[in-house]
Structure formats: C-alpha cells, structure tokens
C-alpha cells in the first residue's frame, strides 16, 4: 500500500497508520504516545516525519483547525468534509459538507485573490462537557462577569474568528 507510493514499509509507519485509522483526528503526540507503547525507541521526530511523509503522498490528511495548537490527522480523504470541535474538551467529529458538493462556498469579494479552498469549522460544546459545566455552575454560584480581573490574567476564554451559527 505504501510501497507503490515510493515509501518503504516500516514498522513505525504501519503502526502510526493503523493508529490514525482507528483514532481519526489524532495529533502527532497521541500517535507518538501510542507507538511508544509497542516500539521501544520511537521519538516524536519520527512521528512528525511519518505524518509529513504520509500527508505528502496523500495517505493522510492534515486537519488544522482554528484555536487548535496542534495538527490532526485522518485517513478519510478525498471526500470534502468539515469538522465540529468541542470548545471545552477539544473533541473533533466529522461533519459532511453543508452545501453538498465539494466546491461549497464562495465569498462575495475575494480581494483579487484566486480562491483555492474554503475551510469550515464548527465549534460547540459536547454533551459530556455540557454536563460537567452544569455541575461546576452549581458550585460556582454566579460568575462575576465584570470581575476586575486582578493580577492574574484569568481568561483562557476561547475567543475566535468565527461567526454565530444558526440553531
């Protein structure tokens, strides 16, 4: 499978590929952690090399989301799909193209740019996090919204380049 793409078949590559197949949207670190279990001396660099190679030849797709520090990888390629991510726990799920066909959105004004692609990411709160957050609210009576944020810069708030979605 890798052979005819000009890549040598190695244990790290096979294990990494298998992991991503069973764990869609895994990031380099998750893959590394998994490989480290079975192989003794794998390093993060190895994993980065692997995902770069596999992405280049088209076996993997690199999924880079806004607000998300690390890149994620998946084997579901070829079909154009979007993603929805929980703003609380970071969990990612696939979302089929909203409009349908692959070319799905076009802006009014491209500012003279040749449009290459449109990236759509939905953000939300998953059921588990919703539940957990409710529990927390019960404990923390009412959040002091206009808190005069003392010394500590408390805001880990995920503000983003996003638009309100219809519900």
Which of 19, 20, 25, 53 touches DNA by CB under 7 A?
Answer: 53
Query: In the chain, what is the straight-line distance between the N-terminal and C-terminal CA atoms, in Å?
Result: 43
The Cα 52–Cα 42 span in angstroms is 16
- Considering only residues 78, 79, 116, 153, which one is a binding residue for DNA as defined by CB under 7 A? 153
Q: Is 44 in the site for a copy of itself (CB under 8 A)?
A: no
For the window 78-97, what string marks contact with a copy of itself as x by the rule CB under 8 A?
--xxxxx-xx-----x-xxx
Q: Collect all residues with Cβ–Cβ distance below 8 Å to 17 and sequence separation of at least 6.
A: 2, 54, 59, 60, 75
- Quickly list DSSP for 3-28: GGGT----HHHHHHHHHHHHSTTEEH
Is 56 a binding residue for a copy of itself by CB under 8 A? The answer is yes
Site residues (CB under 8 A) for a copy of itself? Answer: 6, 49, 52-53, 55-56, 61-67, 72, 80-84, 86-87, 93, 95-98, 102-127, 130, 146, 148-149, 153, 155, 157, 159-167
């Amino acid at each position: 499978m890798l052979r005819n793409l000009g890549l040598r078949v190695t244990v790290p590559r096979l294990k990494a590929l298998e992991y991503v197949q069973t764990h869609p949207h895994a990031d380099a670190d998750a893959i590394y952690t998994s490989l480290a279990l079975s192989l003794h001396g794998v390093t993060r660099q190895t994993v980065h090399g692997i995902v770069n190679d596999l992405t280049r030849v088209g076996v993997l797709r690199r999924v880079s989301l806004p607000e998300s520090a690390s890149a994620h990888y998946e084997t579901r390629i070829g079909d154009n799909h979007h993603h929805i991510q929980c703003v609380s726990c970071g969990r990612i799920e696939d979302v089929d193209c909203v409009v349908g066909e692959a070319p799905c959105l076009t802006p009014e004004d491209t500012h003279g740019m040749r449009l290459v692609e449109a990236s759509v990411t939905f953000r939300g709160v998953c059921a588990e996090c919703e539940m957990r957050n409710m529990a927390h609210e019960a404990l923390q009576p009412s959040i002091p919204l206009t808190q005069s944020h003392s010394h500590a810069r408390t805001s880990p708030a995920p503000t983003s380049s996003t638009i309100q979605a219809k519900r």
